[in-house]
Amino acid sequence: MKIIRWINSIIVLSLFGVVTSCQPGIKPLKEGLWRGAFILPQNEIPFVFEVKGKSADSTLVYLINGTDRFLLKNTTYGNDSVTIPIDLYSSVLKGKLTENSIEGQLVKVNTDKPVAGVPFKAEFGNLPRFPKGSEIPSVSLTGTWDMNMISSDNTEKTVGNFDQKESLLTGSILTTTGDYRFLEGVVDAKKFALSAFGGSTPYLLKGEFLSDSTFSGEFITPRQTSKIEGKRNLKAALPDPYMASSLKEGFTSIEFSFPNLEGKQVSLSDPIYKGKVVIVTILGSWCPNCLDENAFLSSWYKENHQRGVEIIGLGFERKNDFESAKKSLSNLKTRLDIQYEILFAGQSDTANASKALPALNGIAAFPTTIFIDKKGNVRKVHTGFSGPATGKFYDEFKVEFNKLIDSLLAE
């Protein structure tokens, strides 16, 4: 009987080996460029990405928008599907994979409430984001524009800054809280279209010139569509970002104590911050403009902290849970190689941020940046951030930032 059982076991194991070896191997995403499009009821928002890595365990995906390349790691495969995590924004691109296509959804994860996904399709190949126009552009979008963004219950004053080379367009839209990052597209005769997907929300701007100096159109996201009115203005600018938030009357400084990512309480009264210029940035790992600001600050800090400057990030995250925040903020620190402290300060909401810093008259946006002199006095509060996609506005910010720090260090 033992011999029979042993023979049966060998037969079963042999059959199992035949079954597993006959299963089709996992075919990773083809290496090279892909074009995708998010499918909305009345529009498509195109996006472009590049795949690098010839095996399933080494797939790297780069979302491409203008000069920006946003790296996505840890792609996984299962049966006929692929999942591409977007760690900072707690979402995934997940869909059915064939040799040359993906069909699936952009889905938010780690949310308290179920969130409907945004359907998308993607096709392998060096395909244009938008079809090249059949007509030569008759007007140029290059320059700055006053833009009214009109929704059902609000009109928001924004500024557009664009660069056009023949029929190709790049640029961004600035708001009082930040910008819409790297938009890219085309002009066809009097019509134009730009899109962006950097891992957070897909954007589409499309319009038509009414004259050399005016246009109308729409700004579209998966959640809403706003009308756009644009008027050319070489001096187009937003309100002073140093005026949106300030200290309450009677206060000269701020105080706080929050845990760092190791769980240790950190405050401005700690010896490391005494007698130094301190920059406090109010951020969230989920916030694209915070990502841009901290990319700038991380690089700047490495070159300048020895001059007597420290930076502290106050992170407000999707969940009011330390372990969850530790994971998301650690991802941010690793991605940007941040060498200054990031603290967990609470849940992501401007009201929560305002309560955390009661000496201020309120926090209007993420990010908000507070400049503190060597004596511990708050000297300026900057709301929002115009990142590298905004061109001259980003350059102007860097000049102002360095001038302010130099003056505080010289005191």
Written as one string, the DSSP assignment of 178-231 is -B---EEEEEETTEEEEEE-SSS--EEEEEEESSSSEEEEEEE-SS-EEEEEEE
- Level-2 CATH architecture, domain 32-124: Beta Barrel (2.40)
Distance between CA 286 and CA 59 in Å, rounded? 23
Find out whether 371 and 240 touch, Cβ atoms under 8 Å. Answer: no
pLDDT of residue 116: 79
The ranges assigned to domains in the chain are 32-124, 143-232, 257-410
Asked if the domains 32-124 and 257-410 are classified in one and the same CATH topology, the answer is no
**What pLDDT sits at residue 135?**
87
User: What does the pLDDT read at residue 27?
Assistant: 83
Homologous superfamily of domain range 143-232: Quinohemoprotein amine dehydrogenase alpha subunit, domain 2 (2.40.128.120)
> Which residues of the chain are modeled with pLDDT < 50?
1-23
Q: CA-CA-CA-CA torsion for 394, 386, 119, 133, nearest 10 degrees?
A: -40
Can you say how many angstroms the Cα of residue 90 is from the centroid of all Cα atoms in its chain? 11
CA nearest 180: which of 164, 167, 197?
197
Rounded CA-CA distance 209/189 in Å is 9
- Tell me the per-residue pLDDT of 192-248, one tens digit each, with 9 for 90 and over: 999 999 999 999 999 999 999 999 999 999 999 999 999 999 999 999 999 999 999
Judge contact between 280 and 370, C-beta under 8 A.
yes
- Structurally, at CATH architecture level, domain 257-410 sits in 3-Layer(aba) Sandwich (3.40)
Residue 3: both structure tokens together: 């011999």
249-254 contacts, C-beta under 8 A, 24 or more apart? 251/359, 251/378, 252/377, 252/378, 253/359, 253/372, 253/376, 253/377, 253/378, 254/280, 254/357, 254/359, 254/360, 254/370, 254/372, 254/378
Q: How many CA atoms lie within 13 A of 50 on its CB side?
A: 10
R_g (Cα) of the chain, nearest Å: 25
**The pLDDT of residue 5:** 39
Q: Is the separation of the CB atoms in 173 and 183 below 8 Å?
A: yes
* Residue 274, pLDDT score: 97
